[in-house]
Structure 1
């Protein structure tokens, strides 16, 4: 089994936080998005993953430090790391084909802008499993259409009339991903374009037309990290889940001086809190100092300095300095606001 992670996009909706750090590597609840995603997928699979292939963009942005961090992630999970590049953003189908040497055998393809909580048995007898989440407003999503055998017969984008309430979340299992590769090669060779790009859905639709059996795997929770607002919400939800799981979220090296922590919170190494109340639902990265402040429902990354703040629904990057009275701020890496 292998996992293939297309992550070449620049994450423009999460700017300024994705200007210096690729979006999948931005920490949520103290851990990068892609790290949590891959680890949670492995839990659902319940078997050894031999290879994790990452499809990155321009080396000027996805540099050596990114490559090394992803290699370390794969190796820590007992898998071989493979690194591919999509230098020309031509869509989801094109991105997958950039990993052509790895497109054989059983595989999960997962787009690295979402987090999940799931506990279901993956139907590995099906030719493919499309992971879904039941939603209250299916007209806002791409959904699956099912027959009386609970097999997927169609993918419908933002249906105007009810088709189903199972939204496609961007994670797919293929019993042999080489079949998808062949269909996507046809899509590329015949210049089949939707929305100006080569799409994975066009390869999937060709598989369906040839009689391949598609099933659903429905996740319990699906959390987006597309922009600042939903990323802060996802941080809140993930901290709640981790607290229930009994995970240790507060480092022993935290220095408290007339400070109070209202859990759940993630607080990294060598954080200093002085005359400050933090929480609930706050994540703070390593070596950050917060003084004379109240912070709740926010994400603050590493090596930042916060003074005289009353923060709620805020997101602050790495090496930032903030001194002021604003609440719902969003400032990126190396920013100064004082």
Structure 2
């Protein structure tokens, strides 16, 4: 079994952060989006990973090599972003007929990974949503058998959305369907989708069984990223280093503070994640994510997303600031 994690997207909905930092490496409840995904699969026994990288791909590669030296990691570059289907097609020679477990690089879900791995059928994760028009949608017959998968339908016939988690046993069949779709120019909303490949497999007689995920955390844009961070902090609890002593500071849990941080004369929390080696002085921060190596002084932040290597002085209420930024609001 090989895991495939596509992380080649530019993350346009999270700009300016994703100009200098891949979306998958944004801090989230004491980890990163990518590390939460990898840890889930590692805990289930998967040790070989294929990362599809593109924009800022060297940062993904450096992060994986530094934090996961124990895994067998392959890196495939997608130079032209033409959709998830196009990205997956690039991994065929590495997969070489093995079963695969695909998790999209901005998808954090709660589900029993081992149970999915042990199921004898190919599977796809689903979740009921209020408006399925922005997702791949699964349609089933009266017996509960999947008979159609369609990408972002204008008039959905189901509210079961694909969450971006797939176990594929018939990998050769999936790649044949991808090749056919690309050769024939079959696109959904301008991109080659995995939904069309799954639908092709179903038409060829492959049974793909849906499984419902317990929770699905959206990491695609600022507002939902902050909501997901708060939910995960409440679920897993705060995290600080045992040696951390913050001078004249109140911590309102749940809060996650990375290693090497200096915090003084401040109130932090609730629902705050702070990256490593960040300095916070004379500030109040709540409901926010702060990147690594940031410097914040005399600032009030609420529902804010602050990038790494950022320096801010002054006062504000809500900010959305990318990496390598220097701001003086005083």
TM > 0.5 fold call: yes
- Per-residue CA deviation, residues 177-206 of structure 1 (Å, 9 max, x unaligned), is 121011111112222223222222221111
**Corresponding residue to 1:52 among 49, 54, 61:** 49
Unaligned 5+ residue runs, structure 2?
none
Q: 2:285 aligns with which of 295, 301, 304?
A: 295
Cα gap change, 1:233 to 1:161, in 2 (>3 Å):
same
- Give the TM-score normalised by the residue count of structure 2: 0.92
- Pairwise mapping of residues 119-198 of structure 1 onto structure 2 (< 5 A)? 119=112, 121-122=115-116, 124-126=119-121, 128-139=122-133, 141-158=135-152, 163-198=157-192
67, 84, 88: which one aligns with 2:76: 84
Q: Check if 1:98 corresponds to 2:90.
A: yes
What are the superposed Cα offsets for residues 209-240 of structure 1, whole Å, 9 maximum, x if unpaired? 11110111111110111111111111111111
Match of 1:71 among 65, 69, 90: 65
Q: Which residue of 2 aligns with 1:115?
A: 108
The aligned length equals 325
Q: CA deviation at 1:322?
A: 1.1
Alignment deviations for residues 15-38 of structure 1 (CA, whole Å, 9 cap, x no partner): 111111111112211212111112
CA deviation digits over 1:68-93, x for unaligned, max 9?
Answer: 322345543xx311111111112111
Query: Which of residues 226, 230, 237 in structure 2 aligns to 1:232?
Result: 226
Match of 1:4 in 2: 4
- TM-superposed CA distance for 1:6, in Å, is 1.3
**For residues 330 and 151 of structure 1, what CA distance do their matches in structure 2 show?**
44
In the alignment, which residue of structure 2 is the partner of 1:253? Answer: 243
CA distance in 2, matches of 1:156, 1:172: 15
Do the aligned residues in 1 keep the contact of 2:252 with 2:267 (CA within 8 Å)? yes
Q: Please report how far the alpha carbon of residue 249 of structure 1 lies from its aligned counterpart in structure 2 after TM superposition.
A: 0.9
Of residues 151-160 and 14-23 in structure 1, the stretch that sits farther from structure 2 once superposed is 151-160
Seen in structure 2, the aligned counterparts of structure 1 residues 281 and 167 have a Cα distance that, compared at 3 Å, is same
Normalised to the residue count of structure 1, the TM-score between the two structures is 0.90
Contact 1:5/1:52, CA 8 A, preserved across alignment: yes
